[in-house]
């Protein structure tokens, strides 16, 4: 089996093309022949070692957190899938490996691929759509008529989050650059703030929910647009004590995360809002609900570029520039 992997954490390092055996198929697993894999900034961060204390992977490690393909074998306990099924998934964080020809995943993390998407389109969906779902539906419990600010609306998470928020009946504001205003409006954004010309914290007010995917300055400024009782949810950090407990981090790491997030939690409390950090998790059930929304036309993928399998390193470099509109994908088969 061909795969792209890292032997050690190296900032900006290239993935190595290797040959190895197919992954182990466990009793609850499906073995999937990979047709396409999504490329995420998360892959760059894992490669660079940014998560080595939070996600202690064994090296060498095959990267890749989004997958679409065809089931070729199933474990003894699998009941939901059979060979020949077209599926997609965000593998569990301890079983990533989409930059390869095959992957084994627990059936609980897998969903049937939307009928109206190509393999490349399907591979662009799982990680960003599950992130949007877990922020807006699970964590924020976003309701019809509420106001939500989604930062970086033209990015992978942003393009799906805008559409999901509109499906839920929310009033949606987003930030983006001048070049992407038409795109985010086409996805349903009610208010668009061009960050190159305006400061969002001076334009917006009274928001119930903010989805942050940017840095510390944007995170803290977001508090100024929120109403009392609002929820500030960040997918870019800093991690908070709740995340440390959910991740079964040791006592020392829990204290480090408590310290890292103490500033924003204190400022949030002062404004009578709440701050939380979300690191999305694999969930085939939620992905199945997202499939229904895609097949109904409520959510569509936004793709930027498709790279051939052998050019994965170019794809990672491109994602790192931050210029992608929507998702970048590699065609594996």
Over residues 104-117, the pLDDT tens digits come to 999 999 999 999 99
pLDDT for 256 = 81
Per-residue pLDDT at 222 exceeds 80: yes
pLDDT of residue 23: 96
Give the Cα separation of 97 and 37 in Å (integer): 9
Specify burial of residue 313 (Cβ count, 10 A radius: 0-12, 13-18, 19+): middle
Q: Is the pLDDT of residue 265 over 80?
A: yes
Confidence of residue 188 (pLDDT cuts 50, 70, 90): very high
Say yes or no to pLDDT of 244 above 80: no
Q: Is the pLDDT of residue 239 over 80?
A: yes
pLDDT band per the 50, 70, 90 thresholds, residue 254: confident
> What is the tens place of the pLDDT at every residue in 33-86?
999 999 999 999 999 999 888 788 999 999 999 999 999 999 999 999 999 999
Say which range, 133-147, 238-252, 269-283, has the weakest mean pLDDT: 238-252
Tokens of 301: 């993928």
Q: What are phi and psi of 3, to 5 degrees?
A: -155, 160
Against a cut of 0.85, is the pTM above it? Answer: yes
Residue 213 CB coordination number (10 Å): 22
Residue 120's pLDDT band (cuts 50, 70, 90): very high
Please report the domains of the chain, with CATH numbers, ordered by start residue. 2-125+301-331 (3.90.180.10), 127-277 (3.40.50.720)
Burial class (CB in 10 A: 0-12, 13-18, 19+), 88: buried
- Average model confidence (pLDDT) for the chain? 95
Instruction: Please tell me the distance from the alpha carbon of residue 158 to that of residue 305, in angstroms, as a whole number.
Output: 17
Strands (E), the chain: 2-6, 16-19, 29-39, 61-62, 66-74, 86-89, 102-106, 110-112, 147-150, 171-176, 191-194, 207-212, 226-234, 274-277, 303-308, 327-331
Beta-bridge partners for 276: 233
pLDDT in the model for residue 177: 95
């Amino acid at each position: 089996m061909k795969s792209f992997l890292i032997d050690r954490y190296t900032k900006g390092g290239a993935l190595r093309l290797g040959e190895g055996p197919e992954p182990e198929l466990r009793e609850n697993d499906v073995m999937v022949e990979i047709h396409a894999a999504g490329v995420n900034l998360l892959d760059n961060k894992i490669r660079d070692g940014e998560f080595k204390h939070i996600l202690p992977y064994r090296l060498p490690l095959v990267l890749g957190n989004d997958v679409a393909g065809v089931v070729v074998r199933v474990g003894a306990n699998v009941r939901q899938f059979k060979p020949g099924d077209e599926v997609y998934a965000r593998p569990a964080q301890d079983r990533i490996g989409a930059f390869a020809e095959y992957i084994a995943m627990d059936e609980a993390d897998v969903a049937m691929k939307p009928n109206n998407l190509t393999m490349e389109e399907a591979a662009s969906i799982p990680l960003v759509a599950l992130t949007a779902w877990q922020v807006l539906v699970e964590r924020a419990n976003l309701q019809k008529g509420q106001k939500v600010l989604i930062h970086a609306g033209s990015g992978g998470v942003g393009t799906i989050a805008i559409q999901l928020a509109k499906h839920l009946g929310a009033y949606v504001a987003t930030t983006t650059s001048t070049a992407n205003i038409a795109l985010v409006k086409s996805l349903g954004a009610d208010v668009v703030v061009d960050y190159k010309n305006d400061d969002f914290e001076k334009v917006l007010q009274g928001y119930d929910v903010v989805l942050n995917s940017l840095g510390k300055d944007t995170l803290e400024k977001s508090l100024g647009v929120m109403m009392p009782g609002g929820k500030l949810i960040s997918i870019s950090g800093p991690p908070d004590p709740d995340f440390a407990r959910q991740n079964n981090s040791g006592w020392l790491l829990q204290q480090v995360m408590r310290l890292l997030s103490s500033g924003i939690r204190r400022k949030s409390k002062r404004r009578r809002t709440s701050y939380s950090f979300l690191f999305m998790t694999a969930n085939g059930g939620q992905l199945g609900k997202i499939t229904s929304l895609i097949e109904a036309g409520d959510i569509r993928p936004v793709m930027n570029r498709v790279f051939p399998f052998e050019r994965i390193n170019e794809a990672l470099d491109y994602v790192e520039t931050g210029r992608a509109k929507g998702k970048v994908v590699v065609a594996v088969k």
